[in-house]
Amino acid sequence: MRTRTIWRKLMLILWAVTLLLAGRAGAMDKTTCMLDWYPNPDHVPLYLAVDQGYFKNQGLDVELLVPSDPADPLKLVAAGRMDFAVSYQPTVTIARSKGLPVVSLGALIQHPLSTILFLKSSGFKSPADLKGKRIGYSIEPLYRVLFEAVAEQAGLGKTDYETFRVGFNLSPPLLAGQADAVIGAFRNYEAIQIELEGKPVGIFPLEEHGIPDFYELVVIANARTVQENPGRVRAFMAALTKGIEQTLADPEGSMRIFLKLHPDLRDELNRRAFAATLPFFKGSPSQDPARWSAMQTFMLERGLIKKASPLEELIWTGK
């Protein structure tokens, strides 16, 4: 009887240990990722990866968060209070030059969405036509400096035009005639928004007019996360890659899932915005070190940063 009792106790202990280990093995790694702004078609691959279980298949329980301020995602990652975030290549370059420990893990949007936007009724054919015009810009000093570079390539001096800051609300100054053109407007949002109001628009893509081609959106993490938890980084990027691939393979189904999660975005603007964004997912999340180097050199020469950072500090190579 005593032997049987001992065996029974041992079996109960083994059963409890097995359950405990199984629970640990099946536990999800709770992970946070902050968007660069409110949910929009730029973020379809991320929401798809959450909804379709791509992150969970990698052992991650990812919560997508919305910032109250566009500056929050990078700051929170740099402070170690956010695991991952969506940010912008120029912003990451500036932050790293100031010593903030942020690293780009991969691209979400392969090329600039931000453009110089104008009404077609203005008759502009090239940036040279902006001589004597008033140009509104979003972010100081980044977009002011970007416009100066475009204007310089077009043969314009700084006295040939007037720039003024309008912030993120770029459409009203253009529609009201307060600005002849604006820089920082997105070709997949403001351009469509204005055309839906019956005003045809034109754009001058930055990468075609003197600005190095850069990644509009990138996924970032703290350098410590990359060094101390590379498995989590690889898992996150593997799931995001799956989300991007599925978005490109089945755009209609992917957008349907996104709109199921965000029914308030079920309108013509977001339908067209997604169609305009889709080509910019192609090639992601790959990022070319040469493109980071070219943009960093441009920013250094233009005074947007005071020092260059080693590329191995700016971007993650996947190793």
Q: Residue 3 pLDDT more than 70?
A: no
Q: Are 311 and 292 spatial neighbours (Cβ–Cβ below 8 Å)?
A: yes
Final residue of a structural domain among 190, 208, 226: 208
Name the token pair of 135.
């140009």
What is the helix (H) or strand (E) element at residue 195, kind and residue range?
helix 190-196
Q: Residue 23 pLDDT more than 70?
A: no
Percentage of the chain modeled with pLDDT above 70: 92
Q: Is 205 helix (H, G, I), strand (E, B) or coil?
A: strand
Beta pairing, strands 181-186 & 114-119? antiparallel
Beta-strand runs (E) in 155-214: 162-165, 181-186, 201-205
Q: Residue 16 pLDDT more than 50?
A: no
pLDDT of residue 25: 43
CB count in 10 Å sphere of residue 247: 26
The pLDDT of 235-257, averaged and rounded, is 98
The answer to whether residue 2 sits within a structural domain is no
The answer to whether residue 3 sits within a structural domain is no
Q: Are residues 63 and 184 in the same domain?
A: no
The pLDDT of 267-296, averaged and rounded, is 98
pLDDT of residue 318: 84
CA-angle at 268, arms to 260 and 205, nearest 5°: 110
The answer to whether residue 164 sits within a structural domain is yes
pLDDT of residue 8: 55
**Per-residue pLDDT reduced to its tens digit, 39-84:** 999 999 999 999 999 999 999 999 999 999 989 999 999 999 999 9
Tell me the H-state helices in 205-309.
223-228, 230-249, 251-261, 268-277, 289-301
Percentage of the chain modeled with pLDDT above 90: 90
Q: Is 41 helix (H, G, I), strand (E, B) or coil?
A: helix
pLDDT of residue 27: 76
Q: Are 84 and 214 spatial neighbours (Cβ–Cβ below 8 Å)?
A: no
Q: Are residues 138 and 175 in the same domain?
A: yes
Band of pLDDT at residue 19, cut at 50, 70 and 90? very low
**Per-residue pLDDT reduced to its tens digit, 161-186:** 999 999 989 999 999 999 999 999 99
Residue 132, burial from CB neighbour count under 10 angstroms (0-12, 13-18, 19+): exposed
The pLDDT of 263-290, averaged and rounded, is 98
- The 134-137 sheet, strands edge to edge: 162-165, 134-137, 181-186, 114-119, 201-205
Q: Is 144 helix (H, G, I), strand (E, B) or coil?
A: helix
**Per-residue pLDDT reduced to its tens digit, 192-228:** 999 999 999 999 999 999 999 999 999 999 999 999 9
Q: What is the CATH number of the domain that holds 260?
A: 3.40.190.10
Give how many domains the chain has, as a whole number: 2
Q: Are residues 240 and 298 in the same domain?
A: yes
CB count in 10 Å sphere of residue 127: 22
User: Using omega within 30 degrees of 0 as the cis cutoff, is the peptide bond preceding 141 cis?
Assistant: yes
Q: Are 260 and 145 spatial neighbours (Cβ–Cβ below 8 Å)?
A: no
Q: Are residues 88 and 146 in the same domain?
A: no
Q: Nearest-CA neighbor of 107 among 89, 84, 82, 83?
A: 89
Q: Are residues 124 and 149 in the same domain?
A: yes
pLDDT of residue 17: 42
Output the DSSP codes for 21-35: HHHHHH--EEEEEE-
Q: Are residues 196 and 159 in the same domain?
A: yes
Residue 159: domain span: 114-208
- 7 or 235, which is more confident? 235
Up-side HSE of residue 67: CA atoms within 13 Å toward CB? 20
Determine the Cα–Cα distance for residues 179 and 96; give it in Å rounded to an integer. Answer: 33
